[in-house]
């Protein structure tokens, strides 16, 4: 899976450090190569990653490669976005959702200075 510089690729080895121990909120994209809505959502997630550099991290996990992470967070359908804050999942967005709706749900958790 191709990612831009603003999206971290998550593994079982780095999930704790990059997501659970992060001081910034982390938006995690649970995805898979075979999932068409995931491919449709990917550019939106990339845009969001670029728009909020320094305010949150964006990461993605391939559920086929890391089914234990998928299972740990009860991911039933793809794509699923989960926003983690202080290591806790605080917002879950399932399915293909337009950028404005995603941002409306996650921005209340970010420290955005107007």
pLDDT(100) > 60: yes
Cβ-in-10-Å burial (0-12, 13-18, 19+) of 77 comes to exposed
Among 35, 48, 58, 106, the active-site one is 35
Among 38, 58, 78, 81, the active-site one is 38
pLDDT attached to residue 113: 56
Mean model confidence pLDDT for the chain? 94
Report phi then psi at 85, rounded to 5: -135, 125
Q: Which residues pair with 112 in a beta bridge?
A: none
Convert the pLDDT of each residue in 8-18 to its tens digit.
999 999 999 99
pLDDT attached to residue 111: 72
Domains of the chain: 7-109 (3.40.30.10)
pLDDT(7) > 50: yes
Distance set, CA 58 to CA 21, 30, 61 (Å): 14, 11, 10
Share of the chain above pLDDT 70, in %: 94
Other Cβ atoms closer than 10 A to 48:
20
With 0.85 as the threshold, say if the pTM is over it. yes
Element spanning 93, H or E: strand 88-94
How far is 76 from 56, CA to CA, in rounded Å? Answer: 25
**Tokens read off for 99:** 């950028």
pLDDT(82) > 60: yes
Convert the pLDDT of each residue in 29-68 to its tens digit.
999 999 999 999 999 999 999 999 999 999 999 999 999 9
With beta carbons less than 8 A apart as the criterion, state whether 19 and 84 touch: yes
Q: Is 38 a catalytic residue?
A: yes
């Amino acid at each position: 899976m191709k990612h831009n510089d603003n999206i971290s690729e998550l593994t079982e080895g780095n999930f704790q450090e990059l997501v659970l121990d992060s001081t910034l909120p982390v938006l995690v994209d649970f995805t898979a190569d075979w999932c068409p809505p995931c491919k449709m959502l990917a550019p939106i997630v990339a845009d969001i990653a670029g728009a909020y550099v320094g305010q949150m991290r964006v990461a993605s996990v391939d559920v086929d490669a890391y089914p234990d992470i998928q299972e740990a967070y009860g991911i039933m359908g793809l794509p699923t976005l989960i926003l983690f804050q202080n290591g806790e999942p605080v917002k879950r967005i399932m399915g293909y959702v337009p950028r404005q709706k995603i941002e409306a749900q996650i921005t209340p958790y970010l420290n955005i200075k107007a």
